[in-house]
Amino acid sequence: MDAAAVVIGMIVGAGVIHNFGLASSAMAAATATAPATIGGPNIFGQIACVAGILIMLVIGYTYREE
Amino acid sequence: MDRGKWLILVSGLIIGAIAVTLVKLGNPPNMGFCIACFERDIAGALGLHRAAVAQYMRPEIIGLVLGSALTALFAGEYRARGGSATLLRFFMGVFMMVGALVFLGCPLRDILRMAGGDYNAVVGLFGFILGVGTGVFFLKQGFDLGRAKISSSPLGGLIMPALMLFFLYLLLKGTVFNPADGGPLFFSQKGPGSMHAAIAFSLGAGLIVGFLAQRTRLCLSGGIRDFILIRDNTLLLGFIGIFIGALVLNIAFGLFKAGFAGQPIAHSNHIWNFLGLYLVGLTATLLGGVPFTPADSVRSG
Amino acid sequence: MEKLDVRGLSCPIPVIKTKKLIDQGLAEIQIVGDSAVSKENVSKLARSCGYTVVMKVDEKNNWEMEIKK
């Protein structure tokens, strides 16, 4: 059931991420009106990613049994 | 090489081949089978988000959960268990999705993208390896989310498969619950969510992959992790098998296209390709397995 | 004999804990667990480190093994 909690977290997470516009955009070829873009996350996506890493580091550090 | 290693290598080859075949049958390019992307599409189908290009009830995930659950049941390995920091795991799942959507793929899609010639995915792989390495560091320090207890009833473990069966029913029935809104279930008219193989193929593929993954204990972060931790390369062979299987079919189908630019549903912002999969690798290792593994409920009922 | 209980622990913690005891040079370890996956992983680790594995209880979701160097 814990593994299922992860899956549900991912599905709900996907919902939240897209509603808040945190997902990366794909690269785009140049069009008549716009230059090519390399794509990637916007600033909020970047913040979410870095925050996630920091949070995981904290979790990794604090959940030690010794 | 012993039997177990051959088994997982061949399983990997089959899974890689199935993934590319799904692309040929309609799935998005370099996305024959992606746990994160497909769960995102399912979220869209349910209306949990309204990104119009990512809405489809992916039968691959349904098949994956059902296939592995049935396989575990028939092997006598099924057991409902839980209670190991469950809410924390939920949020860690949220962050695995963050990382995956920043990279635009889960580790499985990373392999498929590399097998499609996407060099951006190689950057992601480095991030993934380092993320797993960081997780291994914490594991060696004694990281432990706590014991899960075997439940007194199997019902809790049946929730996920039952939910997936219900989703399948909704997909097949096609009832629109909120006509004014256009769903649920929502179906993308354009973009990746609109690209999908026929339901039967997707479901069948998911069932097969679920069976293979459950029997071989396939785990992508486990592959890197076990190699770092105990120099064991068994799971890594599965990883390599998927890559080779997909690569061969990509070349055969003319889908292989090497480079950084012009890659489908990918980006070249390398710091974030790296950090996105770093987050996934780290979180997966702390959880005990990649998105692929909890999705096929190997760890619990 | 050293006893180790890995019941309910996530992959790969059973292997890590077993390895820690093996690295301490213990010649006899009794390990008890409750998942088929951890049984496979732990016995594989033990054998690769030169231990013999004797299953005392060998059911799919309930096992007990003694490993001896």
pLDDT at position B300? 45
How is chain A split into domains, by residue range? 40-66
Task: Answer whether residue C36 shows pLDDT above 60.
Answer: yes
CATH number of C61's domain? 3.30.110.40
Tokens of C57: 């209880």
How is chain B split into domains, by residue range? 3-300
Collect all residues with Cβ–Cβ distance below 8 Å to B102 and sequence separation of at least 6. A22, A23, A24, A41, A45, A46, A48, A49, B272, B275, B276, B279
Domain span at residue C21 reads: 2-68
- pLDDT tens digits, B4-38: 999 999 999 999 999 999 999 999 999 999 999 99
ipTM confidence score: 0.96
Nearest to B274 by CA among B142, B137, B119: B119
CB A17 within 8 A of CB B101: yes
Tokens of B276: 């996105």
pLDDT at position A32? 86
DSSP state of C10: P
Task: Answer whether residue A30 shows pLDDT above 90.
Answer: no
Q: Which residues of C are catalytic?
A: 11
Residue of A nearest to B39 (CA): A11
Q: Give pLDDT < 70 ranges for chain B.
A: 295-301
pLDDT at position B79? 84
Query: How many C-beta neighbours within 10 Å does residue A21 have?
Result: 13
- pLDDT tens digits, B84-112: 999 999 999 999 999 999 999 999 999 99
- A interface mutation test: which of B39, B98, B219, B293 has the most A CBs within 10 A? B98
CA distance B293 to chain A (A): 8
Overall number of domains in chain C: 1
Residue of B nearest to A20 (CA): B49
pLDDT at position C33? 94
Cα angle, residue B288 at apex, residues B163 and A41 outer, rounded to 5°: 80
Which chain B residues touch C if contact means CB-CB below 8 Å? 75-77, 79, 81, 83-84, 139-140, 144-150, 217, 219, 222, 225-226, 229-230, 232, 287-289, 298-299
Interface chains of chain C (3 or more CB pairs under 8 Å)? B
CB B250 within 8 A of CB B116: yes
Cα angle, residue B48 at apex, residues B42 and B53 outer, rounded to 5°: 60
